Amino acid sequence: MDRAISRVFLVGAVLMIALMANLAWIQVLHAGSLRNAPQNHRVIAQQLRVRRGLILGFDGSTIAGDALRSGFYHRTYPQGPVAPQIVGYDSARYGQTGIESSLNGYLSGSDSGTQGLVDRLLGRHSPGANVELTIVPAVQKVAQTALGAQLGAVVALDPTTGAIIAAASAPSYDPATIDASFAALAKNPDAPLLSRGTQGLYPPGSSFKVVTATAALNLGKVTPTTPFNDSGTYSIYGGKVTNYHGEVFGAHDFTKALTDSVNTTFAKVGTLIGQAALIDQMRHYGFYQTPPLELPRGMVYPSGRYLGPRLLSPTAAMNPLDVAWAAVGQESVLATPLQMALVAAGVADAGQVMKPYLVQRITSSRGNVLQRAAPSLWTTATTPATAQTLNVMMQQVVNAGTGTAAALSGIQVAGKTGTAQRGASNVAWFIAFAPANNPKVAVAVTIENTLFTGGDVAAPLAAQVIKAALAQPSLP
Amino acid sequence: MSRRNTELLLLAVVGVAATIAYASVYAARFHDLRRDSIVTGVIFLVLFLVIHLTERRYLPQGDPYLVPLAALLSAIGLTEIYRISPALALKQGEWLLIGVALFVATVLVVRDVGRLAAYRYLIGAVGLVLLALTVVAGTSVNGSRLWIRVAGFSIQPSEFAKIAIVIFLAGYLNQNKEMLSVPTARLLGVPVPPLKYFGPLLVMWVLSLVMLVFMKDFGMSLLFMATFIAMIYMATARIAYVVAGALLFAVGAGGAYQYVPHVHERFAIWIDPWKTAATSGYQLLQSLFAMADGGLVGAGFGRGYLLYSNHVPTVPDLQTDFIFSAVANELGLAGGIGLILLYLLFSWRGYHIALQASDGFSKLLAAGLATVFGLQTFIIIGGVTRLIPLTGITLPFVSYGGSSLTANLVLAALLLMVSHHSLVVEAGSTTERLRLAEIV
């Protein structure tokens, strides 16, 4: 009997050891995949119990705040939506986007550095860190209001630092009601959740002529006074390049080719410099790279030549007709409003494109500065001399060319219009910077699905945004 | 050091541990400490001191480790229940008071544990009646019919029935072990004892099936059948009973899987809880998620994420069947393994008492009680950790529930009586015996 009893005890001990081994598997070995299982909402629910860091505008005003409701914090938006596609939403059900997602570690307080050592030892959770953006709510609101019911985007930045002052995308949405409206927003064909400024890829049309002109001036192939003759058509490689609305410009110089946006001349210039130089100039402006904004992966697209959804290699083969059309911003060239704003900024800042950024400062709940923006050079587009030449030419666009609607009294604006055909409608562009002799703001305005030209609909909008930005007491 | 002094020392350690655990929860809840935490620890200790003094008077040679283990487990249970709901902890405290009274009553009424053998059929019948009551007058909770309501209290008779059945089996098997060990016939090539002696065993099998089908209590059914198989093996040392018993249970369980939807569902959840993550698999998955959060050492008592803001537990039935998940969440793998080790220690003391016992009945009684205790622990912890299909039974001493707490204190009393009795009887002369019994 005793031997049998001992055996039963041994079996029992083995069963208990099996329990311990299984427990180790659950709590340690397999714990990571259990924690990250989509069915597991514990992590988000725990974060909702901690006061989330604020998202502030450059003026210090609260863009995304907190309110406590039955033990859980939820986001409030005291100014209404401000750049919601950039700031993002924070939903227990639909997760997070934008800054809410990319800086969640700081905002939720889970990132080390936001918690004091004593708090961590005691298991206390201090509130998340506050994130101060470079977005200036006053300018952002002007841009959003100016877009109104049109589809499109405005990106405004400080060319001397790269700080994004405004990034408006229309249509927009209200992140305060995301839980209720998400399903409808996700299905809306006009894509209100899309950050058009960084994710919208559009044919840049004539606004791209600034890039072509930069390459040609750099190579010494043209000067502002180089004479050209336009017959309304430029034939090459069995095809032809024509002007907008079939216009014929006759004899003109290179400056006039830019101010009046002569396609045939820029097609000739494209042929003159060739594919390699054109693509090389694009890369120097930042094309073929993803601008390093503090946004989640997939929220900023690189610009360049695309085949369907795929960015082509810079060395992908082009025939002479392709090069001629690419030089006028058509063919397969696609650019985001952010990239075209960076082109304007490069000209404005003596050929230097500063690294674009959205986050001015991150401050812990105790007031320690955890991170501060440090402006740095992203890419060099051209020489100061060429930049100055382009600056003068772009002033002419506003003073006597297609961009007169962007003119402001007392402020010299430099810019370039663009009107790209996409399907049956146009994509209207205006890229600009001001004041031309001491640039403080660079802008790109894109209106999609319009029947008008960039000079008609985009230029006046750019003027409003520039005016609002220059009226600010301080900019990032 | 005498056995009782050892016990007192251990109880003092448990008292300190209980006070610290309770203070930890209290501090996490109210962010400061008050005298209340100390007072609660003292009250808890006083209750176990009553048990200790009862032992000093009547069971001086009882095992010194069982009561401290029971006290530590109860302290962990009370702390975790308090952390989930202070109101429930108060009720559980009242049950602890009743449990202590029942412990003392058991010692005073039974006096000599050997006498229980004489009443084996009566006790067995009481066990059956308790179970029958559940079927007739029981109320259903979570699809299982487990409770009867008496004077405002919900009582789970199966917790007491398990002890009655073990007493019956110990008496019955001890009396018939020779006959059961000598096969006189063969059935399908397997040597079997005479049918006359086999009868009551078939009754046990039918009983466990009845529990399964009518009470839908898969956990208790498994517990009864497995305890029975273990006890008949310990009585006869014949492995054939284990094989035959396992086959019988498998047939019964297989049939239940086919025809009882409740049982079928439990198996389906076990095989793939992810498929029904939002419905029937929700509870088990939440349990696994809660334990995964615990990691190696957990956040500490009162500091885990176990309650939603409206005080609803993140795992349904957290305070009863799933209390192990709560402990594993807050104390991590270290605490979970520690808890399992405490149960292993308790069972080990039970088997140790059985090996020391002088007569067959005492041996079988102690080993049977140790088995039913250890198995119950394995079945519920295995269930909430998805090692085996989940069956709702309580975790001894720790789960919220009066029946479980009081019944397990009675179980501890019986083990202590066997322990005391065997030491006193084994010790040589009458003088020596009287000295050991400390009645001189």
Q: Does A4 touch chain B (CB under 8 A)?
A: yes
Structural domain that includes position A207: 139-176+187-359+374-470
| Gap between the terminal Cα atoms of chain A | 87
B130 forms bridges with which residues in the sheet?
none
Q: Closest Cα of chain B to A28: distance in Å? A: 6
Structure tokens at B182: 């000598």
Q: Mean pLDDT: which of A287-301, B13-27, B150-164, B222-236 is highest?
A: A287-301
Q: How many domains does chain A have?
A: 1
Main-chain phi, psi angles of A242, to 5 degrees: -120, 170
Alpha carbons B405 and B383: distance in angstroms, whole number: 20
Q: Do A71 and B310 touch (CB under 8 A)?
A: yes
Return the pLDDT at B242. Answer: 86
**List of chain A residues whose C-beta atoms are within 8 Å of the C-beta of residue B234:** 1, 4-5, 8
**List of chain A residues whose C-beta atoms are within 8 Å of the C-beta of residue B377:** 16
A218, A382 Cβ separation under 8 angstroms: yes
A386, A407 Cβ separation under 8 angstroms: no
Q: Is B155 exposed, middle or buried (0-12, 13-18, 19+ CB in 10 A)?
A: buried
Return the pLDDT at A123. Answer: 47
Alpha carbons A280 and A297: distance in angstroms, whole number: 25
**List of chain B residues whose C-beta atoms are within 8 Å of the C-beta of residue A123:** 28, 299-300, 303
3-class secondary structure, A58:
coil
Q: Do B343 and A16 touch (CB under 8 A)?
A: yes
Q: Do A123 and B230 touch (CB under 8 A)?
A: no
Q: Closest Cα of chain B to A187: distance in Å? A: 25
Return the pLDDT at B293. Answer: 87
Alpha carbons A3 and A20: distance in angstroms, whole number: 26
How many CB atoms within 10 Å of residue B375?
Answer: 23
Q: Does A471 touch chain B (CB under 8 A)?
A: no
What ipTM is given for this predicted complex? 0.91
Interface test with A, best of B180, B231, B234, B376 (most A CBs within 10 A): B234
Torsional class of B317: left (φ above 0), alpha (ψ -120 to 50), beta (otherwise): left
Q: B32: which DSSP letter?
A: S
DSSP labels, A201-269: -B--GGGGHHHHHHHHHHTTS--TT-EEEE-SEEEETTEEEE-GGG---EEEEHHHHHHTT-HHHHHHH
Pick the residue from chain A with its C-alpha nearest to B324. A23
Structure tokens at A430: 């205006």
Q: Which of A22, A70, A72 sits opposite B385 (nearest CB)?
A: A22
Interface test with A, best of B351, B364, B375, B415 (most A CBs within 10 A): B351
Alpha carbons B52 and B38: distance in angstroms, whole number: 20
Structure tokens at A400: 């006597």
Q: Do A30 and B355 touch (CB under 8 A)?
A: no
| Residue of B144 and B310 predicted with greater confidence | B310
pLDDT tens digits, A385-404: 999 999 999 999 999 999 99
pLDDT tens digits, B358-377: 889 999 999 999 999 999 99
Q: Does A19 touch chain B (CB under 8 A)?
A: yes
**List of chain A residues whose C-beta atoms are within 8 Å of the C-beta of residue B237:** 1, 3-4
| Bridge-based pairing state of the strands B153-155 and B190-192 | unpaired
**List of chain A residues whose C-beta atoms are within 8 Å of the C-beta of residue B308:** 45, 71
Helix residue spans in B138-272 (DSSP H) = 157-181, 195-214, 218-236, 239-259, 261-271
Give the percent of chain B with pLDDT over 70.
85
| Residue of B257 and A415 predicted with greater confidence | A415
Structure tokens at A328: 């006028």
Q: Do B291 and A70 touch (CB under 8 A)?
A: no
3-class secondary structure, B13:
helix
| Chain A with chain B: Cβ pairs closer than 8 A | 135
Torsional class of A381: left (φ above 0), alpha (ψ -120 to 50), beta (otherwise): alpha
**List of chain A residues whose C-beta atoms are within 8 Å of the C-beta of residue B360:** 1
pLDDT bucket at B33, cuts 50 / 70 / 90: low
Q: Mean pLDDT: which of A35-39, A105-109, B224-228, B304-308 is highest?
A: B224-228
Residue B34 maps to a domain: no
Helix residue spans in B278-428 (DSSP H) = 282-294, 323-356, 360-384, 402-426
Residue B2 maps to a domain: no
* A325 closest CA partner among A377, A277, A268, A367: A268
Return the pLDDT at B168. Answer: 93
pLDDT bucket at B426, cuts 50 / 70 / 90: low
Radius of gyration of chain B (CA): 22
Return the pLDDT at A68. Answer: 83
Q: A53: which DSSP letter?
A: P
A203, A333 Cβ separation under 8 angstroms: yes
Mean pLDDT throughout A244-270?
94
Q: Does A186 touch chain B (CB under 8 A)?
A: no
Interface test with A, best of B279, B289, B348 (most A CBs within 10 A): B289
Give the percent of chain B with pLDDT over 90.
41
pLDDT bucket at B217, cuts 50 / 70 / 90: confident
pLDDT above 70 for B192: no
B240, B189 Cβ separation under 8 angstroms: no
Q: Do A20 and B340 touch (CB under 8 A)?
A: yes
Q: Closest Cα of chain A to B400: distance in Å? A: 21
Q: Do A12 and B294 touch (CB under 8 A)?
A: no
B65, B341 Cβ separation under 8 angstroms: no
Residue A58 maps to a domain: no
Element at A64 (helix H, strand E):
strand A62-69
What sign results for the dihedral spanned by CA atoms A97, A101, A103, A109? Answer: positive
Return the pLDDT at B278. Answer: 79
Interface test with A, best of B306, B365, B387 (most A CBs within 10 A): B387
Structure tokens at B365: 């009684």
A354, A441 Cβ separation under 8 angstroms: no
Range with the poorest average pLDDT among A68-72, A278-282, B188-192, B388-392: B188-192
Return the pLDDT at A113. Answer: 60
Element at A63 (helix H, strand E):
strand A62-69
Structure tokens at A212: 């072509």
* Residue A185 to residues A197, A348, B166, B335, Cα–Cα distance (Å): 18, 37, 65, 47
Give the percent of chain A with pLDDT over 70.
96
3-class secondary structure, A96:
strand
**List of chain A residues whose C-beta atoms are within 8 Å of the C-beta of residue B310:** 70-71
Alpha carbons B59 and B353: distance in angstroms, whole number: 14
pLDDT above 70 for A316: yes
* A416 closest CA partner among A396, A430, A437: A430
Residue A261 maps to a domain: yes
| Residue of A226 and B85 predicted with greater confidence | A226
3-class secondary structure, A292:
coil
3-class secondary structure, A424:
coil
Q: Which of A7, A8, A27 sits opposite B292 (nearest CB)?
A: A27
Find how far residue A343's CA is from the centre of its chain: 13
Cα within 13 Å of Cα(B28), Cβ side: 23
pLDDT above 70 for A114: no
DSSP labels, B286-322: HHHHHHHHHTTT-S-TTTSS-B-TTS-BSSTTTTTTT
* Residue A284 to residues A211, A390, B23, Cα–Cα distance (Å): 10, 16, 65
A421 forms bridges with which residues in the sheet?
A426
B113, B106 Cβ separation under 8 angstroms: no
Alpha carbons A183 and B163: distance in angstroms, whole number: 58
* A462 closest CA partner among A402, A422, A400: A402
Q: Which residues of A are catalytic?
A: 206
| Residue of B39 and A371 predicted with greater confidence | A371
Q: Which of A1, A37, A71 sits opposite B235 (nearest CB)?
A: A1
Nearest 10 degrees: Cα torsion A275, A277, A278, A282: 130
Q: Closest Cα of chain A to B308: distance in Å? A: 8
Q: How many domains does chain B have?
A: 1
| Residue of B272 and A46 predicted with greater confidence | B272
Q: Is B185 exposed, middle or buried (0-12, 13-18, 19+ CB in 10 A)?
A: exposed
pLDDT bucket at B440, cuts 50 / 70 / 90: very low
Q: Do B234 and A8 touch (CB under 8 A)?
A: yes
Residue A74 maps to a domain: no
- Looking at every residue in chain B, the average pLDDT score rounds to 85
Return the pLDDT at B66. Answer: 95
pLDDT tens digits, B230-247: 999 999 888 888 888 888
Q: Which amino acid is at B213?
A: V
Q: Do A40 and B370 touch (CB under 8 A)?
A: no
Beta strands in A95-196 (DSSP E): 95-96, 130-133, 151-157, 164-170
Q: Does A24 touch chain B (CB under 8 A)?
A: yes
Q: Does A40 touch chain B (CB under 8 A)?
A: yes
Residue A98 maps to a domain: no
pLDDT bucket at A105, cuts 50 / 70 / 90: confident
Residue B86 maps to a domain: no
Alpha carbons B398 and A110: distance in angstroms, whole number: 33
* B187 closest CA partner among B200, B198, B176: B198
Query: At which residue do the structure tokens 């082509």 appear?
Result: A312
Return the pLDDT at A420. Answer: 94
Residue B73 maps to a domain: no
pLDDT bucket at B436, cuts 50 / 70 / 90: low
Return the pLDDT at A338. Answer: 98
**List of chain A residues whose C-beta atoms are within 8 Å of the C-beta of residue B325:** none
**List of chain B residues whose C-beta atoms are within 8 Å of the C-beta of residue A13:** 344, 348
Residue A109 maps to a domain: no
Residue A146 maps to a domain: yes
Alpha carbons B361 and B368: distance in angstroms, whole number: 10
Return the pLDDT at A122. Answer: 45
Range with the poorest average pLDDT among A349-358, A460-469, B37-46, B340-349: B37-46
**List of chain A residues whose C-beta atoms are within 8 Å of the C-beta of residue B375:** 12
Mean pLDDT throughout B165-178?
90
Return the pLDDT at B424. Answer: 79
Q: Does A68 touch chain B (CB under 8 A)?
A: no
pLDDT above 60 for A120: no
Q: Closest Cα of chain B to A29: distance in Å? A: 9
* A51 closest CA partner among A137, A114, A135: A114
B371, A13 Cβ separation under 8 angstroms: no
Structural domain that includes position B309: 113-439
Give the CATH number, domain containing residue A402: 3.40.710.10
Pick the residue from chain B with its C-alpha nearest to A14. B344
Pick the residue from chain B with its C-alpha nearest to A43. B293
Q: Closest Cα of chain B to A77: distance in Å? A: 23
* A370 closest CA partner among A179, A113, A136, A197: A113
Q: Which of A13, A46, A123 sits opposite B344 (nearest CB)?
A: A13
Q: Which amino acid is at A472?
A: Q
